[in-house]
Amino acid sequence: MQLQDKVKIFHLNQQLSLVEEEISLLAQEQDKIAQEKLGSNKAMVDYELQVNIFIYASHEEENLVSWSEYFKNIDKRHNNINDKENHNVTSCCWKDSELNSQQHCWILHRLYDDFDISWKDIINVTKISFDIEISYQYSMDITSHN
């Protein structure tokens, strides 16, 4: 891998880290709303909250990869999005001190480690989009009229 590619990976990670912050903020806001609804609606018994993430590369018309991250009760359980941890695991497969020493956010980690996207495709990532999806579950007792 050439130095310019490692620089691109470094800069992409910076951008993805900012996206992670935005995803986390928006998902936490929606989670708070869902928790308030759960507490105030007697028929509502639960909810699910997930963020669907779509990654696009410059040479692709369709998304390069997509997946979902779950955010329900984010303040009560760990979620890797925007956790500020270093998720760089490149040293297992690439003996490259510059690449191995980089800080990698969760989304970048998912691309190369979990989805096995090539570095060539990763450095050509041009867009990320995401949907915040909430589903509410309701239950009501029905009285039998015999």
Concatenate the DSSP letters of all residues of 106-129 into one string.
Answer: HHHHIIIIIS---HHHHTTEEEEE
Residue 90 has pLDDT above 70, yes or no: yes
Cα dist. 63→14, 55, 88, 106 in Å?
21, 5, 23, 18
pLDDT at residue 146, as a whole number: 65
Amino acid at 98: E
Within a 10 A sphere around the Cβ of 129, how many other Cβ atoms?
Answer: 12
Query: Contact at 8 Å (CB) between 81 and 106?
Result: yes
Q: Is the pTM of this model over 0.75?
A: yes
**What's the mean pLDDT in 77-102?**
85
Region 28-50: mean pLDDT is 91
> Which helix (DSSP H) or strand (DSSP E) does residue 90 occupy?
none
User: How high is the pLDDT of residue 91?
Assistant: 86
Tokens 């760089």, located at residue: 88
pLDDT for the residue numbered 75: 60
**Per-residue confidence band for 74, with pLDDT thresholds at 50, 70 and 90:** low
Mean pLDDT of 115-131: 94
